Chain A
Amino acid sequence: MAPGIQLRSTLSRSVLPDVTEEQLIYVLLEVSAQGVPTTMPKLPLNLCLVIDRSSSMRGERLQQVKEAANRIVDLLSEDDCLSLVTFNDRAEVVIASQRVRNKVDLKRMIGGVEAAGGTEMATGMALALQEIQRALVGRGVSRILLLTDGRTYGDEGRCVEIVRRAQSRGVGLTALGIGNEWNEDLLETMSARENSRTQYITSASEIAQIFTDEVKRMHSVFAQDMQLRAEMRPGARLRSLDRVRPFIATVPVTEEKDLVWATNLGDWPGSDPQAFLLEVVVPSLAVGDHPLLRLTLRYSLPGMNLLNQEGNVVLRIGVRQAASVGYDVDVTVKHWLERLVAYRLQAGAWQDVAAGRIEDASRRLQMAGTRLFEVGDVDLAHTVQDEATRLLRSGQTSAEGRKRIKYGTRGLMGGETQEREA
């Protein structure tokens, strides 16, 4: 079989009643690698580590970070480029962008990093962008790996702006927060683009594992420049598109022209299946079988020198007399939707908190807890309900609970199993 990406779609209901109004249908789109050799040639990696060395990192945290950086050096080869930038009140280039040749030297430079001072992230990010651009290559993966444990004051806007500039040049960001003090809104905003992600590290001992996992993921990027297009039948429209696997994230879509929606999905690290959930509004249709939409995925497989590949799938629905149509929905679609709803509810809750609507926020969190119980995520459900109760009693949430909920509902907690099959 020719190598490529296979598209598989499941509808919440494949048969709809013939009512005279619009109906909502959910589409689970699963994409998986097909006929891909198990050992893919590694893509050259252009990596910049950006490490917060403010005084709060002193001790075990910085020790673990150095350990993790050394392990990264071990994982890289001469094809790869590495740079290391640290920041506190100022930023400094510890390792200028270079090929990974003399690993002993690199590790010695890593060993010299010490913790002191405050947290000014933007200067660190600016230097990181400067270093990583020295080694920008056409083929390969460029990535900034940021680790912070604190809040940066007053330069949040610049951080976002620098990251956007990097992203527009094909440089992705992995933003890792450790502890409870850092600003999750900032990290989420910074990584809210394709090719970027954020993760929450609960304890220092996880740092090395998460760093090395991330580098392995980058090394094994299987597909690049993934673009999804959805062409609708007249009268139908795409209400939303969200990634649900490997983690939950809203995917911004643009209406390219009438009835055509398009979005950029970025790179595909590793070759584990990905899944997306689409909400599609179906117009009133006559009894019969109808095509509903066509989904087209364009992508490149750089490891196999296959550029501008395309796969597509056409979704069809049946419309029957209302009396003969039940209300059963596909359980797999419902499972992923339920996780997504929990994520949306907690996101809405934080907006309510920010606007001072404490009771609304608590109600949303309660319902998010109910949804999480239903999908079997009992620990997280308890965390959410505790936070809802705390909010109602004191009008406040805990920094830790909030981070656990934000990252947990997306499936982005360090050290926990992220995958759960329906």
Chain B
Amino acid sequence: MIRCSHCNAQQMNGTIFCSECGATLITEAPRRETTNALSRTIDGIPTVVEDGPHTVVPAPPTIAKASGICLVVINSGRRITLESGEELLVGRKDNQRGIYPDVDLGLDGGYDAGVSRRHAIISPSRKGYMLEDLGSSNGTFINSTRLAPQTPTLIAHGDELKFGTLILRFEIA
């Protein structure tokens, strides 16, 4: 069996598009598993995202390639392309309180996923991009490690970012 890197469903060897989510399975060599027994043990691990240089959601060819960074919301496949070079607030829009984040996760089920209105900031630095939690209620995670509040931490291309329980992948274009 092979495993869909997009939705984690088990698929028969030779499958070209995942029968569950429709993602392509042949942009890379499939992760082959040797026995059924082995794949059962893997089932128990709740990893949702495979890190790696491959693209899970191929970018539509018509979207202009901005020289910036990109956040991919894993569960909807939405790509949020961002200008580089300034601080970017991640959170949920709130008209009453006048909070208009650069990355509004309210559209992606952010409220249910526990995304705070002012959740975190992505900022450029000399070394690369930093992610800083703004004391959010439900936490910010890089590759499943929780960040201490107000502590900018370096993030790299392909990192899995989690805001509350909402998972995004960070990409540098």
Contacts and interface: CB of A to CB of B under 8 A. Distances in A.
B150 interface: no
Contacts of A393: 107
Contacts of A363: 21, 75-77
A26 B1 contact: no
Interface string A336-372: 0110011011000000000000010011101111110
B45 interface: no
A12 B14 contact: yes
Nearest to B12: A24
Interface string B21-32: 111101001101
Nearest to B78: A366
B58 A374 contact: yes
A392 B107 contact: yes
Interface stretch (A14-22, A70-78, A163-171, A289-297): A14-22
B60 interface: yes
Interface in A376-414: 378, 381-382, 385, 392-393
Contacts of A382: 62
Given A367-B21, A370-B60, A21 B78 contact: no
A110 B75 CA distance: 55
B37 to A, nearest CB: 12
Contacts of A338: 17
Interface-centre pick from A17, A21, A26, A345 (highest chain B CB count, 10 A): A21
B61 interface: yes
Interface in B75-91: 75-78
B99 interface: no
A282 B14 CA distance: 10
Given A345-B22, A378-B62, A392-B107, A370 B77 contact: yes
B13 interface: yes
Interface residues of A, number: 40
Contacts of A327: 26, 29-30
A97 B145 CA distance: 76
Nearest to B1: A21
A23 B14 contact: yes
A333 to B, nearest CB: 8
A413 B47 CA distance: 42
Nearest to B74: A363
B57 to A, nearest CB: 6
Interface string A282-312: 1000000000000000000000000000000
Nearest to B77: A366
A384 to B, nearest CB: 11
A367 B58 CA distance: 10
Contact of B26 (A329, A345, A362): A329
Contacts of B14: 12-13, 16, 23-25, 282
Interface in A22-47: 22-26
B42 to A, nearest CB: 15
A353 to B, nearest CB: 15
Nearest to B17: A341
B117 to A, nearest CB: 18
Interface in A200-234: none
Interface-centre pick from B11, B77, B109 (highest chain A CB count, 10 A): B77
Contacts of B23: 367
Given A362-B76, A374-B58, A26 B16 contact: yes
Interface in A171-187: none
Contacts of B26: 327, 329
B41 interface: no
Nearest to A388: B76
Interface string B102-118: 00000111000000000
Contacts of B32: 19
Contacts of B58: 370, 373-374
Given A21-B36, A392-B107, A366 B17 contact: no
A146 B62 CA distance: 39
A334 interface: yes
Interface-centre pick from B14, B30, B57, B78 (highest chain A CB count, 10 A): B14
A89 to B, nearest CB: 44
B15 interface: yes
13 contacts: A12-B14, A12-B16, A16-B14, A21-B36, A23-B13, A24-B13, A24-B14, A366-B77, A367-B21, A367-B23, A367-B77, A370-B60, A382-B62
Given A16-B14, A370-B57, A373-B60, 12 more contacts: A19-B32, A23-B13, A24-B14, A329-B16, A337-B17, A338-B17, A345-B22, A363-B76, A363-B77, A370-B22, A373-B61, A382-B62
Interface of A: 12-13, 16-17, 19, 21-26, 281-282, 327, 329, 334, 337-338, 341-342, 344-345, 359, 362-364, 366-371, 373-374, 378, 381-382, 385, 392-393
Interface of B: 1, 11-17, 21-24, 26, 29-30, 32, 36, 57-58, 60-62, 75-78, 107-109
